[in-house]
Amino acid sequence: MLSVELHAHSALSYDGRDPVDLLLEQAAAVGLDALAVTDHDEIDA
């Protein structure tokens, strides 16, 4: 069975705190297999 987090906000979202690279490091440190970053607002392409 996979361990996943399907709702995480990064510093790019008004209610997030950590940059995406830190979220990924933290997810790996606790053994997550996948992480979905679900930021709010706009992201420029």
Band of pLDDT at residue 45, cut at 50, 70 and 90: low
pLDDT at 43: 62
pLDDT at 42 over 90: no
DSSP string spanning 23-40?
HHHHHHHTT-SEEEE---
Separation between Cα atoms, residue 40 and residue 22, nearest integer Å: 18
pLDDT tens per residue across span 20-36: 999 999 999 999 999 99
pLDDT at 18 over 90: yes
Residues in contact with 20: Cβ distance below 8 Å, sequence separation at least 6, in sequence order: 10, 11, 12, 37
